[in-house]
Chains A and B, each alone.
Chain A
Amino acid sequence: MPLTLQSRRIYILPTRPGLVAAALLFLMLLAGLNYNNSLALLLCFMLCGVVLVSMHECHRMLSGVRLISARAEAAFAQRAGELLLGFENDAPRARRGLRLRVPEVAPQSFDLPAHSSYVARVGYQALQRGRQRIDRLQLSSDAPLGLFRAWTWLHLPLEALIYPLPVALQPLPAPTSEPRTSDRARRLQGDEEWAWLRPFQDSDPPRSVAWKAYARGAPLLVAQYDAPTGAHRVLSLRSLRALALERALSQLAEWVLECERQGESYALELPGRSVSAGRGLAHRCACLEALALYEP
């Protein structure tokens, strides 16, 4: 994965201010030549040199940058998703004015100081349910003067999982049996019912953090509960036979989100693929993934 940007794959062209600067330099040259004025000519040539040096520096803003990680966050269809690209600069010079862009989406600007790394998050447009390839990413820079723009195309094996767009058409199906005391209420009673603790991850909601343990000096931990066995809702494609397939999947996705919001456990049943009852981020992801990849 560590992918070092090679000089020969970096393209560079003057920007519009760069073209204007070239025209102005030409005017200066004409004035200097016309009067055979040495100072004016030297000024013009110095500026030419500065512009060329800036071109070189612009090119060097990209060359040698390393791409150390690339991941596409799953997204709902027709919504904006996010790509996470980790860049590393192990050179002793800063890389400035970097812009990461997926075609047709607003770019993300960032700097890479000397010996640093940065995870750039750039948006992409999720199209339809399933897997979506993100073919071309452009990394560009117009530093240091904005007169030139260097860019390179990153061709990555980036594939994003696109969940169905959640659409609420029908109310949640009734649970199979009465739910027990809600998990949340149970959690408030004490820690004796925690099954186990695991380290905190970015995706965990703050309320799931074991703050008491944290107060005692432990690192950030998250309480993990046993999957409830009792009451749960069964979200089944069969129950939505009246709807077209895509709409039905959208409804299922909405139900998954709704159950998660309410903190209820649920199971997903698709023909040929079912996810047993559960709750939490991993369960939600598994269900949504099953929906995303479902093929009749």
Chain B
Amino acid sequence: MKQRGESATAGALAIPAIPASTLRWVLAGLLGAVLLNVHHTALWCLPVALGGAAWRLWAAQHVARLMGRTLRVVVLAILTLAVLLGFRTLNGLDAGASLLVAMAALKLMETRRVRDWLIVIGAALFLLLAACLDAQDLWRAPLYAAELWLLCTALYALGAGAGVPPPTALLRSSARSLLFALPLAVLLFLFFPRLPGSLWAIPREDEAVTGLGEEMSPGSISQLVESRDPALHVRFEGALPPPLQRYWRGPVLHDFDGHTWRRGRAEFGPPAPLEFEGTGYYYEVTLEPNKHHVLIALELPKDVPEELTRVGTTYDYQLIGSQAMNSAVSYRLESFPRHRNVDALEAGARWVDLALPATRNPRSLELAHALRAGAGTDRAYVDAVLDYLRRGGFHYSLAPPRLGANSVDELLFTTREGFCGHYASAFVMLMRAGGIPARVVTGYVGGEWNRFGRYLLVRQSDAHAWSEVWLEGSGWVRVDPTAVVAPERLSSELDDALGAAADGDQRAQESSWFSASVQAWQAMNAWWQDEFIQFNMAKQLNLLGSLGLKNRDWEGLVMLLAAGGTLWLSVLAWRGRDRSTPRPRDALGRAWRALERKLRRSAAPRALHEGPVAYSERVARLRPELAGTLKPLARHYARLRYGPGCSSAQLQRFRRAVQLFTARVKP
């Protein structure tokens, strides 16, 4: 038995090892790629990869046996099972990346040849790709670049075989190669024809994205209050709408059970025609990923965006996309804050927006009937309710007490404090009780002007809820009860009420340099999102147009690609050409070189061993007529070069003399 053990050890010793430094480069590259994926892969991925790398490092210095085939298969099966259990699929990006980590870690247990190590680097590159597909934040971009550099260096180390250059030389050669690659990459990025849609879709796991909800329960504090993440940013062409008209319309809620508002599933034909008045505003929205289908638009958009396919307008003027916005989208719209319904309200829609649970909120119903009896017209009733909210001693608070099943009753008669959702809910309920069709609209209000990026940033914390009421003669009219309760808090309502925890942050934001740098960072982020991440076929073709190309289609792209690619290759060849003698580093040497160039047709080039004076004498023998000027010039040069020194005036004189010198035969 002992003998067998020894022979196995001897076999293990015979593993052809790559140099230790190469091993470290490859392992560092793999671990870097695993780290970049750590946020979306399975929890065990990092430990498994670390374990594999540590074992491999240990095995490089000790006598170790590579893992046997059976054991590898078993471990791979276990890890695959772990992925399956964790993600319930092997197909998604997260599951796929986890599986890739598992396989790369296992590959470390059996790598023998250079080919195997290439596979490990390939796996690391694919992990980097997975990270790119999963997260595209600006702050991650330098990390991705560093990882690419690391992996390239590992490739160069592997390619060098046994004689691995020192780390700095390796890093320099890979950086050089990446620098040369960059222009080509930019060219391909800009002009490689993109696809209008996708070939296939990987199902993405549902993530808890903060934002507007599908429903609204004023009884509990909404999550989106706490988030200062950007929700959308908007670039205007031309004027901005006045602050009081910056209502960004999102999901519309119709169904009320006394406590929770929900989006109705009912659909009542195409949107009723509108008459737009006043000025329209052209703008481009970039919407951050969220989990519902509604495109946020300034109230109210005239058309559906052209850039997006399968977007429609519902009867309550929501822009609905065909799928949830898993990635950021941008679209252009024209909106008119002033608008009027032309036709009467459709009966079904009227019924939906008048419905109330009969048994809930009895005291509010009573209040509504009393106010309604005192008001003559619908408009007077709206004013009466608003007046009631204004004078009723209501407070604005982001941390109101929890409300029960009769949420409106409790708000109006007991707690008297709440935020936008509470007041919108109460107002719409009172409107419906008074016979006026009304609905809750959620969305965002306001926005922060970024002077660096010249765009309006709307945050998740700008989320807002207001109401729309149907007034005969005008159609749907926006009424924001929160503006009545807490007028000063309308635009930045959530900011002020975030509570003590955010107070310090708030004050810090007021100091100018801090807010300036925050804005600059946001502007960079917005540029990154709009111009880089969102770069697509439409923008590509626009770019062609702005370059003045007539055929704005894939033919134009291919033409540009071919031209640019040729240019790149020739620059590469030109940069890499072999110079017979290195270019002189100082001005004096260059001036002398210029003289030699002028003589290149007269005589064979100066040999390496030939001094300037000897050279001039040789040329003078061939071209006696030049002797008179050439010999003094050469002696002058030798004096400047090998003499005590060369002042700048002397250099100038010499240069001038070389300029005047001509080897041409004068007629």
Contacts and interface: CB of A to CB of B under 8 A. Distances in A.
A19 to B, nearest CB: 12
Interface stretch (A54-62, A184-192, A202-210, A279-287): A54-62
Given A31-B129, A34-B195, A57-B177, A46 B163 contact: no
Contact of A38 (B136, B159, B180, B199): B136
Nearest to B181: A49
Interface of A: 17, 20-21, 24, 28, 30-50, 52-54, 56-57, 60, 63-64, 91-92, 96-97, 111, 142-146
B573 interface: yes
A36 B540 CA distance: 12
B13 interface: no
Given A34-B198, A47-B125, 5 more contacts: A35-B133, A38-B533, A39-B144, A96-B163, A145-B158
Nearest to B174: A50
Contacts of A40: 129, 132-133
14 contacts: A17-B115, A28-B129, A34-B199, A35-B327, A36-B537, A38-B534, A46-B182, A48-B184, A50-B152, A57-B177, A92-B582, A145-B156, A145-B158, A146-B118
B198 A35 contact: yes
B450 interface: no
B126 A45 contact: no
Interface size class of B (residues with CB under 8 A): 35 or more
Q: Which of A38, A41, A57: most chain B CB closer than 10 A?
A: A38
Contacts of B199: 30, 33-34
Nearest to A142: B159
B100 interface: no
A257 to B, nearest CB: 37
Contacts of B125: 24, 28, 47
Given A41-B192, A43-B129, A143-B159, A53 B148 contact: no
A39 B148 CA distance: 12
A49 B180 contact: yes
Nearest to A28: B129
Contact of A46 (B156, B160, B185, B327): B185
Interface in B108-155: 114-115, 118, 122, 125-126, 128-129, 132-133, 136, 141, 144, 148, 152, 155
A45 B126 CA distance: 14
Interface in B191-205: 192, 194-195, 198-200
B586 interface: no
B160 A50 contact: no
Nearest to B119: A20
B156 A144 contact: yes
A38 B573 contact: no
Nearest to B122: A24
Nearest to B184: A49
A142 B200 CA distance: 37
A42 B181 CA distance: 11
What is the predominant secondary structure among interface residues of chain A facing chain B?
A: helix
Interface in B545-594: 569, 572-573, 576, 578, 582
B536 interface: yes
**Consensus secondary structure, chain B interface:** helix
Contacts of B132: 37, 39-40, 43
A50 B176 CA distance: 10
Contacts of A146: 114, 118, 158-159
A48 B185 contact: yes
B184 A143 contact: no
| 4 shortest interchain CB distances as A-B pairs | A49-B181, A39-B132, A45-B185, A45-B188
B177 A50 contact: yes
Nearest to B580: A90
A37 B136 contact: yes
A63 B161 CA distance: 21
Contacts of A49: 178, 180-185, 188
B189 to A, nearest CB: 5
A17 B533 CA distance: 32
A64 B578 contact: yes
Nearest to A17: B118
Interface centre among A24, A35, A54 (most CB of B within 10 A): A35
Given A46-B148, A56-B572, A146-B158, A39 B185 contact: no
B173 interface: yes
Given A36-B194, A50-B152, A60-B576, A45 B184 contact: yes
A194 B126 CA distance: 74
A236 to B, nearest CB: 53
A36 B195 contact: yes
Given A35-B198, A41-B189, A53 B181 contact: yes
A47 B116 CA distance: 19
Given A33-B195, A45-B189, A46-B185, A39 B126 contact: no
A38 B535 contact: yes
Nearest to A145: B159
> Which of B183, B185, B533 has the most C-beta atoms of chain A within 10 angstroms of its own C-beta?
B185
Nearest to A146: B159
Interface string B509-540: 00000000000000000000000111111000
Contacts of A32: 129
B234 to A, nearest CB: 21
Interface in B305-342: 327
A24 B126 contact: yes
A63 B189 contact: no
Contacts of A41: 188-189, 192
A144 to B, nearest CB: 5
Contacts of A48: 181, 184-185, 188
A41 B129 CA distance: 9
A63 B573 CA distance: 12
B582 to A, nearest CB: 7
A26 B667 CA distance: 64
B307 to A, nearest CB: 12
Interface string B39-75: 0000000000000000000000000000000000000
Nearest to A63: B578
Contacts of B114: 146
Of residues A33, A36, A56, A91, which shows the largest number of chain B Cβ atoms within 10 Å of its Cβ? A36
Contacts of A17: 115, 118
A39 B141 contact: yes
A239 B126 CA distance: 76
Contacts of B184: 45, 48-49, 52
Contact of A144 (B141, B160, B183, B185): B160
A39 B328 CA distance: 14
Interface centre among A30, A53, A60, A92 (most CB of B within 10 A): A53
B123 to A, nearest CB: 10
Contacts of B189: 38, 41-42, 45
A180 to B, nearest CB: 53
B93 to A, nearest CB: 9
B131 to A, nearest CB: 9
A53 B572 contact: yes
A47 B174 CA distance: 12
Contacts of B535: 38
Contact of A53 (B136, B180, B534): B180
A48 B122 CA distance: 14
A217 B76 CA distance: 70
Contacts of A53: 177, 180-181, 572
